[in-house]
Structure 1
Amino acid sequence: MLGEHRYALRSRWTGNRGTGTSGYRDYDRSVTISIDGKPDLAASSDRPFRGDGAKWNPEDLLLAALSECHLLSYLHACVQAGVVVVSYDDDATGLMTEDGRGGGAFTEVTLHPRVVVASASMIEPAEAAHAQAHEWCFIANSVNFPVRHDAVVTALGD
């Protein structure tokens, strides 16, 4: 399945309080992200950047993309290795560092998958499948910081 895959969405700023961006504190950071055929996503900047902490922010979305991409790549790697995954949960963490000039960057992300497989004989290949998943993850291959994995694999009934 070689080829290009294009993606499109619409980001619409919805935070004009009536005076636009007349001052730093005069506007809301609310954004609606839309993709045809999918529910809208209410987003904002993160709370430290005058955003609404109840809404998704770009940092949340980047971490979510890395976590989900690894999960989906991992499930595929397990199928190919003959591993039956019955449960997968990830408590992903990321570190973003401000540069003091108004910008910054993520410096690392660590995925913490907890995987349950159908039998104890599948634990070793299930652990190895994380490396293959990392190689296949389009999102991890697109970022310029390390994406680490601190995985725990157990067998059903353990």
Structure 2
Amino acid sequence: MAHGEHKYAVSVEWIGNRGTGTSDYRDYGRDHMIRAGSKPEIPGSSDPAFRGDAARWNPEDLLVASASACHKLWYLHLCSDAGIAVMAYLDHAEGTMTEGAQHGQFTQIVLRPHVRIRAGDDRELAIRLHHAAHEQCYIANSVNFPILCEPVVESVAP
């Protein structure tokens, strides 16, 4: 693995001007487009609780998805190195954000990966590798709240 500094460039373009800009809190849309190079665009907005569009991704969704995806990528890597063949992986992650008097903040994310491994592979090691994946995850190492993991690992019948 390469060591050093890695940079990630994205653009976020607000497309919610309904003609009068931000003249009033209720007069503008929260919609935006997230772009990074030639990758597919991500349609964004705010959470519906904050006048956003429920059909578009909000920053909170993206944070939870980032934590889940980072954990999954490390887990697959570590399983591959350990000789465990992951056949399927599905995480139902959930983040909790609370609003305070001054600002809101995430208080935790819970990952709930359901993993299916090849029959005969070491199930106990597969469970333990979730802890190692958490220790390696760049996102988990970058936030100031706990990211918990409640994995389920089962063997695929031959």
**Which category of TM-score, normalised to the shorter sequence, fits these structures?**
over 0.9
Matches within 5 A, 1:70-109: 70-101=71-102, 103-109=103-109
How far 1:121 moved relative to its partner?
3.9
Instruction: Return the alpha-carbon distance in structure 2 between the equivalents of residues 88 and 99 of structure 1.
Output: 35
Which runs of no fewer than 5 residues in structure 1 stay unpaired? none
What is the Cα deviation at residue 100 of structure 1?
2.5
CA RMSD of aligned residues (A): 1.1
Contact 2:70 2:139 in 1 (8 A): yes
Report percent identity of matched pairs.
50
Runs of 4+ in 1 over 4 A off after TM superposition: none
Specify the alignment match of 2:134 in structure 1.
Answer: 134
- Paired with 1:2 and 1:35, the residues of 2 have a C-alpha distance of 23
Alignment of 1:144-155 (within 5 A): 144-155=144-155
Structure 2 partner of 1:25 = 26
2:115 counterpart residue number: 115
Whether the aligned pair in 1 keeps the contact of 2:98 and 2:107 (CA below 8 Å) is yes
Q: CA separation in 2, counterparts of 1:82 and 1:116?
A: 14
Contact 2:96 2:106 in 1 (8 A): yes
Give the SS at the match of 2:78: helix
Counterpart-to-counterpart distance in 2, 1:79 and 1:130: 13
| Distance (Å, rounded) in 1 between the aligned partners of 2:35 and 2:73 | 23
Q: Number of matched residues?
A: 157
Measured after TM superposition, the shift of residue 120 of structure 1 is 4.0
TM-score normalized by structure 2? Answer: 0.96
Q: Distance in 1 between matches of 2:120 and 2:114?
A: 15
Answer whether contact 1:118 1:156 (CA < 8 A) is retained.
yes
TM-score (norm 1): 0.96
Runs of at least 5 residues in structure 2 that lack an aligned partner in the other structure:
none
